Structure 1
């Protein structure tokens, strides 16, 4: 959208404003692609020397008034063009930050990697960038870099490391009973620890008084490890095989079906009917306490529509993890989601189930995003304000991890 007065902006509907924001991002991406083309031409022509500057970087810092780091980055990107990356940027499908993230990943590629393998990696990263944030692209790059590192090792070295992984834990107890430690983990254990931090070390949302989580990252990760250790100590063999929990719902059944009214679920607390539909989606046993007009319990029903252990295993194989495009949460941290909710007549069948993490299950239940199964693959359908054509989007983030 071009120059627009504040009056016309205020007249936009919410959908129009969201669409305008998306269009503006695409415009900035196309302009950055044009800027890189200009930098590349200036560098090839040695324009800096012709104008009295010692380098293209120096020219940019003076003429364009960008920082030295930014100028160096643009020159580096211009000198190492990747056609698929440049095309996606020029079409506004990815941002300048995505391009930087992709080039960062490629900078970690060993010199011996085959051109075909590198091209395949670039294609995968571009597709991932079209779905997710630059941070996710960088994290996927860590998986690729790990794969490249292992692939470049002699076979005998790899087998030795797998047979006897290098792990070390050095600690000593302080006088007050606390422990200090340092150490090193092998790749597999490091990957597990990263997954643990993704689930348990995120900052907590503001509390009821509006106070933010003031813990540092190291403190949050320390709390995550403590929580995991506490779980490991108390879990029994029978607990490990139990993947569901029970929620007793106290609500008139008609209200639950209409998504109206307030509910009380034991183990959850007070919630709206809409919230309860999300909480009870997938692998939670629902025991409905159906109430009469005078709030008397008419019937304490038995648990229904529970996803089986076999179905969960099949979903993990099919979906590999959260099916939201760009999400890298593995199946362990996800739960089954009803594509058509069981209260609306949906069946507990594979064709009506999709794995999603907690964050993106909330998105499906509380925003205009939808999910469908198309030709055996779970597809997310964006709202019309984001994509008027509502083109199905598929998650390819797990393909990077599988390849690694």
Structure 2
């Protein structure tokens, strides 16, 4: 079986490794530090040679003749991940470009190419610079700013790690491109919201996504009514859900929403007669969910009540008139007395409160 044209000979690999051997058993600390620095220089030289060889294979059409893409070929040769091979090919084309006639051209990253040739920076530094100056904000700055920035990044690469260099490059680009990308008035609508009731009647799930402006509005509204972390020892997710429910409840109470079926939208609690005989242990909502006795007590504190009597076949026998448990005058009196929420530690205004009975502690 013949060897693959993409697999180097073993003798060649062993000869190269033997030339790099150092004495790792040296007892001198300075010797070990010097050897480490020496090996790093050897690695940088090897990386530069690899990038130049990749550029040569790519420019000469060797990958095309073998029927493989350059990125796939490099990934197979070096047994590396495809995104690493893609970055190596990009650096090779930026540092060792050639014309269609095979003539060497001026590098797109001249300062970076010089630092690589002097074994002063790693291939990873060159990948960071190439990636930062390829698209996005780098396309919106002037050619003079682009060239100056490339020189600055190549200089910084001599003193910073690749991850630190990436952060510096992003901040420098932000300063040069303060206006950012031009606004796109034709962006597609991304707002969507899905409400799914649970099959067992225990509430439901909310799922969706929002554009930046709508998300900001929602965040500010939720944060405005968010209870403190010490309140009832609830998690952030629980408190945010409570805040969203309070916002919706306030919108219903204010009566500013459009009409629904000829009247303002409201929450309807359906009480089963048998449940009422059993000391009102629960209720049912319009959308099929079931509530607890605590939910029932909360709704009955400040609501309008319309009694409806059904027979055994669920046919309405009697429809009474709506009456309100707490009158407008009573609500005004409570608001004047308490000046807001009476719960300890809560500072909500009267407009955001409901009239609830506060149980007195047992003596």
How high is the TM-score relative to the length of structure 2?
Answer: 0.41
Greater Rg, structure 1 or structure 2?
2
How high is the TM-score relative to the length of structure 1?
Answer: 0.37
Structure (1/2) with the larger strand percentage? 1
More relative contact order, 1 or 2 (CA 8 Å, 6+ apart): 1
